Amino acid sequence: MKIFLWILCVTFCVFTSLRAETYILTVQHSGSMWSLYSLHTMTKREIGDCNFYGPEKHIPIRDWHRFYHYNAGIDQTKDRIYFAHSIERFNNAKLPLNKENDKLLIVLRNFKECFSSLRISPNQLIEILSKPKRNVFLQNLVNNLNLYESWSPENRLLVYYEDLLVRPQETFESMLAWLGEDSQSVHDYMQDLDTHKANCLHLYKTNKVIKGFANTKSKGQTVFYTKNVSTESLQTIDQLFAKKYPHLWKYFERFKS
């Protein structure tokens, strides 16, 4: 009996070590809700939320569907997707983050848009980039990209939030192909895209914990806040970021002013 239990235990450990988990990392104000809503709706995969807010902040892995009161139907035959805004959240949830075996999806937004969405002025951002003082949001962004850099290339994918807005079908198709999902669900999803946008926005309004601080001023529309910022300020911000994080500037060069 002891031998049988030992074999069973070893088999379970080997199986769990070989099973690839899927992680999504995106800092706040980078399209997290839209990405998760869309992926869940199209793939029917369960989402484990590793962020901590409100009365559930003590829970290491929260049921995203119950928290946001949205469930498009979960396929129990598929593995869960884990989501967080920072690596620290995954570590707190004691998730292993196997860089060689697991999948990592980064949803990235122009950092200048993120700070504008956070109501941080260009001058404030220039000050943040000019001084060594630690900024939590910026540090999470840098840490997430550094993790992506160290991840196995065949098991990582970086998607821009801006592409989800301006070319959603093409971007969703690449995400689902990378996840090994049927692309037909993208076609079905796109047929009712406006309804899905309205449903996603509604999740903010109905959630009592986040509605007090969630930024929904875009009203579900494609909004680029930095269009109202002077070119000189944007160029200064670009130069400061490129100088401070030269190895990461390549991810934002497409947004160069």
81-101 pLDDT, tens digit each: 999 999 999 998 899 999 999
φ/ψ region of 45 (left if φ > 0, alpha if ψ in -120 to 50, else beta) reads beta
The pTM of the full predicted model, rounded to 2 decimals, is 0.85
**Higher per-residue pLDDT: 18 or 61:** 61
- Residue 212's pLDDT band, with cuts at 50, 70 and 90, is very low
Tell me whether residue 170 is in a domain.
yes
Tell me whether residue 126 is in a domain.
no
Tell me whether residue 78 is in a domain.
yes
Tell me whether residue 175 is in a domain.
yes
What gap in Å lies between CA 29 and CA 85, rounded to an integer? 10
CA angle 152, 154, 156 (to 5 degrees): 70
Q: What domain range includes position 154?
A: 18-111+136-213
Residue that is written with structure tokens 């969405």 in the block: 117
CB 200 within 8 A of CB 164: no
CB 196 within 8 A of CB 189: yes
Tell me whether residue 71 is in a domain.
yes
Tell me whether residue 160 is in a domain.
yes
Tell me whether residue 88 is in a domain.
yes
Domain count, the chain: 1
What gap in Å lies between CA 75 and CA 40, rounded to an integer? 10
- Residue 220's pLDDT band, with cuts at 50, 70 and 90, is very low
- CA dihedral in degrees (138, 139, 143, 144; nearest 10)? -40
